[in-house]
Amino acid sequence: MEVQSKVAVIAHRGASRAEAENTVRAFRRAGEMGAEAVELDVRRTADGVLVVHHNPHLHDGRLIAGTAHRDIPAEVPTLGDALDACEGMWVNVEIKNDPEEPDFDATDSIADETMALLLARHTDERWLISCFRVETVDRCRAIAPHIRTAWLVSFPPADAAQQMADKGHAALHPWVKALDRSMVDACHAVGVQVNTWTCDDPVRMAELIEWGIDGICTNVPDVALRVRAGEPA
């Protein structure tokens, strides 16, 4: 895959410093600011509705996987409504499927259902699918090899770039505090892009851009856009 010449500004859970995270307002605000992309988190209700929420529990402590959609707060959007709010941007859809969390799905049926919803929209170039669980990412690529996929990882192993290339994944998504220039170079050498999370520091943003990073996932897309343009943050 060709490495992008222009770093993408990816709004982490939308413009989440300006609006409540993972809400329609946050996604729309990111677009108004000029972000190229949005990152959002997908979970599933007790009755099988895909919704956008970072944590497995709602703010009142109820487990999303144990709650029917009709009882989910209105500010928690369905995945479909969230994607509608991201019109004009590409979307990094993070599937939340952590073995350490109470809604873990060992069968990866949440990946099947997420991919089915995305494929039904017939705008496959808009999606980039990621997950901390590499087996879930592999499942998504097996379902639709033409849709971009990425491994989300806090501390990438030394051979992470080659692993992604060998499996045909488009990108590696390492934690910004674990990222150095050699990792960026190693990924680019095998045709793998690098989108890092979560960076809100303008000085660090400028360094990442100088390294040739492909995407910066940030809570402050307006700041990242100014840094990218060479303007005061």
Domain boundaries, the chain: 8-228
For range 8-14, the mean pLDDT: 98
Separation between Cα atoms, residue 146 and residue 122, nearest integer Å: 12
pLDDT of residue 57: 98
Task: Assign 6 a pLDDT band (cuts: 50, 70, 90).
Answer: confident
For range 114-120, the mean pLDDT: 98
3 has pLDDT over 50: no
pLDDT, mean over the chain: 96
Which amino acid appears at position 17 of this protein? R
1 has pLDDT over 90: no
- pTM (2 d.p.): 0.96
Cα separation values, 162 from 43, 111, 182, Å: 29, 24, 13
For range 211-229, the mean pLDDT: 97
Fold of 8-228: TIM Barrel (3.20.20)
Residue with tokens 């959007």: 77
Which tens digits make up the pLDDT trace of 131-159? 999 999 999 999 999 999 999 999 999 99
Which tens digits make up the pLDDT trace of 44-60? 999 999 999 999 999 99
For range 162-174, the mean pLDDT: 98
Residues 6+ apart with CB under 8 A from 39: 10, 11, 12, 13, 91, 92, 94, 197, 217
pLDDT of residue 233: 84
Residue with tokens 């379902």: 143
pLDDT of residue 2: 35
Contact 32, 22 (CB under 8 A): no
107 has pLDDT over 70: yes
